[in-house]
Amino acid sequence: MYPLLAGSSRASRSGDFMHYSQGQADILSLLQRSPITNSDVRKDVTELVYVGEMGLAFDTLCSWIYQEELRISRELYKDLVALSIRLEEHNAVQGLDELIAE
């Protein structure tokens, strides 16, 4: 499994590709760890990642968790927040803290 915060913001062109690939891997890893069981949503998020719509894929992942009020671990929440910062999708994680299972 890839660490969520790998990569450098000052990467070369090949480094940009690695950063992009890392973002794809991170979203797919979070999807795998998420409580989402709806196969259509899982497929949509995966397809969005593969066509390069990582912001939309991440937003869909977070929105589904929030709208369905799915309980998440504190660790998953922290990883979602960390990726939201990297993707500059800060609004995607709003309200997810209310769903942390204690």
pLDDT tens across 22-66, in order?
999 999 999 999 999 999 999 999 999 999 999 999 999 999 999
Residue 21 lies in a domain: yes
Structure token pair of residue 7: 């990569």
- Average pLDDT along the chain: 85
Whether the Cβ atoms of residue 89 and residue 80 lie closer than 8 Å to each other: no
pLDDT at 6 over 80: no
CA-based radius of gyration for the chain: 13
On the 0-12 / 13-18 / 19+ scale of CB atoms within 10 A, 54 is: buried
Residue 62 lies in a domain: yes
Query: What range defines the domain where residue 73 resides?
Result: 13-99
The number of distinct structural domains making up the chain is 1
Residues in the chain: 102
DSSP, res 5: T
Residue 36 lies in a domain: yes
Residue 3 lies in a domain: no
Q: Look at phi and psi of residue 95 and say left if phi exceeds 0, alpha if psi is from -120 to 50, else beta.
A: left
The structure's pTM equals: 0.80
Collapsed DSSP state (helix, strand, coil) of residue 69: coil
Residue 4 lies in a domain: no
Q: What is the pLDDT of residue 102?
A: 77
DSSP, res 35: S
Residue 5 lies in a domain: no
Residue 2 lies in a domain: no
Residue 42 lies in a domain: yes
In the chain, the amino acid numbered 15 is G
